[in-house]
């Protein structure tokens, strides 16, 4: 009975979390449009950040509870996005990448992973007294995200990407934002409580739950977008979704969360950040040195998906 309640709480929390984020994004998009912001700003910034709100809610709840589920979900989500998500999209249709994406956005993605790795790993070598991400390190991560954000704005200042935004009144939009925030916060608490209870019930680590179940669950919106984009043969949307989500998750979410409450990191989780680095390096190597240059074909897709399956198996063996 307790297991059933835990599963129900976990699933209900996920539904409320995703639904709340959706309502919040629609309200924010409506207000941004009413205030005259560009379509690109609404689509790339507000909606893009909105898809990461579930991870943010879980991270804040985890930080205050002292649980590793939140940061595990961020690390696991990045690895899942880079390996499984891009791999599945490439199996649907080969992804022809522009050189600018590889030369500009991919190095930023790797630099982001290195910066976050430094914030997580430095305590091991005695350069910090707190076993995790401190407020000072959170400030550095957030500053890195802001630099990336303004760099992106400068690079794409003239871009105008069409987005389907339904416009509501200011009052309705504010109500939607308020309801969305309540849903996100409540759902985040329920997902965290359910994950912790499930881990105890099945005698598995909280980190494993975060790295797999929670990470994959919070990445489902990005997976849906990537599959749809692959079917429509839009590789830019696939790669942009992954890189943008990864950068914001690592720098923005961990940075803001650490500023609110320092994030304690278990020693075992510090090893998993290496998986994110390896995933980014593997993606780059496949795009540059295997098969057609600047293309992730079906063979490369199989390699990426297989790499993720191996990673999950190793996590299961570790426990």
Residue 243 has what pLDDT? 76
Instruction: Please write the tens of the pLDDT for every residue from 54-92.
Output: 778 788 888 887 777 788 888 998 899 899 999 999 999
Quote the pLDDT of residue 209: 81
Q: Per-residue pLDDT for 110 more than 80?
A: no
- Looking at residue 61, its pLDDT comes to 80
Q: How far apart are CA 171 and CA 230, in angstroms?
A: 37
pTM beyond cutoff 0.85: no
Q: Which residues contact 287 (CB under 8 A, 6 or more apart)?
A: 97, 102, 106, 293, 294, 295, 296, 300
> And the tokens for 286?
């496949």
140-187 pLDDT per residue, tens: 889 988 887 777 665 544 444 444 557 788 888 888 878 877 777 677
How is domain 2-318 classified at the CATH fold level? A middle domain of Talin 1 (1.20.1420)
Task: Give the whole-angstrom CA distance, residue 220 versus residue 77.
Answer: 10
- Out of 98-112, 195-209, 261-275, which region has the weakest mean confidence (pLDDT)? 98-112
């Amino acid at each position: 009975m307790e297991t059933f309640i835990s599963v129900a709480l976990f699933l209900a929390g996920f539904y409320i979390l995703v639904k709340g984020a959706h309502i919040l994004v629609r309200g924010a998009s409506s207000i941004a449009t009413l205030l005259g912001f560009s379509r690109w700003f609404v689509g790339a910034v507000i909606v893009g950040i909105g898809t990461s709100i579930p991870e943010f809610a879980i991270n804040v709840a985890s930080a205050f509870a002292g649980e590793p589920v939140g940061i595990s979900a961020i690390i696991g989500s990045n690895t899942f996005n880079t390996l499984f998500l891009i791999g599945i999209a490439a199996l649907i249709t080969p992804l022809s990448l522009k050189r600018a994406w590889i030369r500009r956005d991919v190095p930023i993605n790797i630099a982001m992973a290195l910066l976050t790795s430094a914030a997580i790993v430095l305590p091991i070598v005695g350069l910090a007294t707190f076993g995790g991400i401190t407020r000072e390190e959170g400030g550095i991560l957030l500053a890195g995200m802001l630099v990336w954000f303004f760099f992106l704005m400068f690079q794409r200042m003239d871009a105008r990407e069409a987005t389907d935004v339904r416009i509501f009144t200011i009052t309705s939009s504010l109500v939607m934002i308020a309801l969305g925030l309540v849903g996100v916060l409540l759902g985040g608490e329920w997902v965290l409580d359910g994950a912790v209870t499930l881990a105890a019930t099945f005698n598995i680590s909280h980190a494993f739950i975060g790295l797999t179940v929670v990470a994959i669950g919070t990445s489902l919106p990005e997976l849906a977008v990537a599959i749809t984009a692959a079917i429509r043969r839009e590789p830019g949307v696939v790669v942009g979704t992954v890189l943008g989500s990864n950068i914001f998750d690592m720098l923005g979410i961990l940075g803001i969360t650490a500023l609110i409450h320092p994030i304690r990191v278990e020693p075992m989780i510090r090893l998993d950040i290496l998986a994110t680095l390896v995933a980014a390096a593997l993606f780059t190597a496949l795009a540059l040195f295997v098969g057609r240059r600047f293309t992730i074909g079906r063979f490369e897709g199989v390699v990426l998906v297989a790499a993720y399956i191996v990673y999950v198996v190793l996590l299961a063996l570790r426990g």
